[in-house]
Structure 1
C-alpha cells in the first residue's frame, strides 16, 4: 500500500484494468464490420489493441478515413457505435470477465480513496454494466466516451476540486498515460508489461496488501 499512500484519489481505466473486456470488444468490431474485407478489419483490430484508451467513435472513424480512405458522417459513426453497443451489452454483463486482482483492491479500499472511472468505453453503456455487476457503489462517478479521456480526467479534477498531486490514474494503455500527462497527474501502469518503461507499474494489487 506504500505505493499509493501519497494519493487521496484513484482514477481507473475500465477495459483491461477492471474488466478483461478487450477480447470481447475485438469481437464487437468484427461483428459490426463483418461486411468489409478481413484484412482491413484486422488492421483496425491491431489499432484498437494498441490504443485501448481511445473511444469506439475514434476507432470507427479511423477505420473509414485511415484504413479505407473514405469519408464518414457523424451520423454513420453513431449508427455503427450503436450496433457495437448492442453487441457489448449482450456479452459484457458477465462477472467472469472481471479482473479479480483489481476488483478486490477496489472493494477493499473504496472507503480509503476517492475512486472514479474514466474510460474510453461509451459512458451510458459503462454505467449500465457497472450497475448490473454491482460495481457502481465503489465509485464516486463513472465517465466514458464520446468525451475524450483527457477531457474526462480534467472534468473530474475540476468538479471535485482535487489537488493534482494527490491523484493517480491507473491504466493499461499509452492513451491512459497521455491523459494523465496532459492533466499533470501521476500514472501507474497495469496489465500491460510494455508500460513498465513509463515508470510506476503494478504487477499485482494483491502484492500491495
Structure 2
C-alpha cells in the first residue's frame, strides 16, 4: 500500500491507536447501571452503534432519549466523572497499536494528528504519560468539540498538509473523511462495528487489520 502520496495522517484513537473500545463500553455500562439494567442495555446499544460520538453527546442522549427525564447538571456531571474515572485506568494499561512507532519511522516527514471522540484533555494526558504525545506533531484533538468540526477546522489551518488520509474504525469516521474530501482507511482489528466488512464492501472503503499491516 503506497501511503507516500499523503502529507497528513489523521488517526482516530479508540480502536485504532489504542485497544480501548471495549473498556469504554464497559465503563459506560457501569456509569449508568444505577438507572436500571434495561436503560443501561439500551444505552450500550446506542453507544456501539454510534462509535466516535463524544461522551457528552452520548450522556445527553441517555437522559433525554432513553430515560426521557430532565436532570440537574450536577447529576450529568456525576455520571461523566464516574465514567472518566473508570476509563482512565484502562487507557493507561490497554494495548497500543502494533507497528505505530515503526509507521512513524517509515513516514518521518508526514504530519500526524489525532481526531477523536474521546475527551481532549484526557487524551493528551494519557498520550503524554504513555510516551506517545511526540508522535503527533499535528496535534491531539478530541471532545467536547465534534470530530467533524475538528477535522474541518484543522484541514483549513495553515499547518495542515494536503493530501491527507484518515485511519478510523467507525461509520462516523468514514462520514467525516468523506465530508472533508479526505481519503479513508478502515482499521478493523478492534472495531465494535460488527458489520464493518459489509459496510466497506458497499462503500468501496479500503480496510486493513491494523497499523502493523502498513508499517
TM > 0.5: yes
- Answer yes or no: is 1:87 the counterpart of 2:80: no
Residue among 91, 96, 99 paired with 2:97: 99
Deviation of residue 131 (structure 1)?
Answer: 0.6
* Distance in 1 separating the partners of 2:27 and 2:212: 31
SS of 2:109's partner is coil
Deviation of residue 161 (structure 1)?
Answer: 4.6
Residue among 137, 148, 151 paired with 2:149: 151
Q: Identify which range, 66-75 or 181-190, moves more after superposition.
A: 66-75
Corresponding position of 2:131: 134
Give the conservation status (yes or no) of the 8 Å contact 2:115–2:151: yes
* Distance in 1 separating the partners of 2:167 and 2:49: 17
TM-score normalised by L of structure 1: 0.88
Q: What is the Cα-based RMSD across aligned positions, in Å? A: 2.0
Corresponding position of 1:30: 29
Q: 1:65 to 1:84 in 2, by over 3 A?
A: same
Deviation of residue 45 (structure 1)?
Answer: 1.0
Q: 1:23 to 1:207 in 2, by over 3 A?
A: closer
Structure 1: stretches of 5+ with no match in the other structure = none
SS of 1:69's partner is coil
- Answer yes or no: is 1:207 the counterpart of 2:183: no
SS of 1:91's partner is helix
Give the conservation status (yes or no) of the 8 Å contact 2:186–2:206: yes
SS of 1:18's partner is coil
Deviation of residue 189 (structure 1)?
Answer: 0.8
Residue among 180, 188, 195 paired with 1:183: 180
Greater helix proportion: 1
Structure 2: stretches of 5+ with no match in the other structure = none
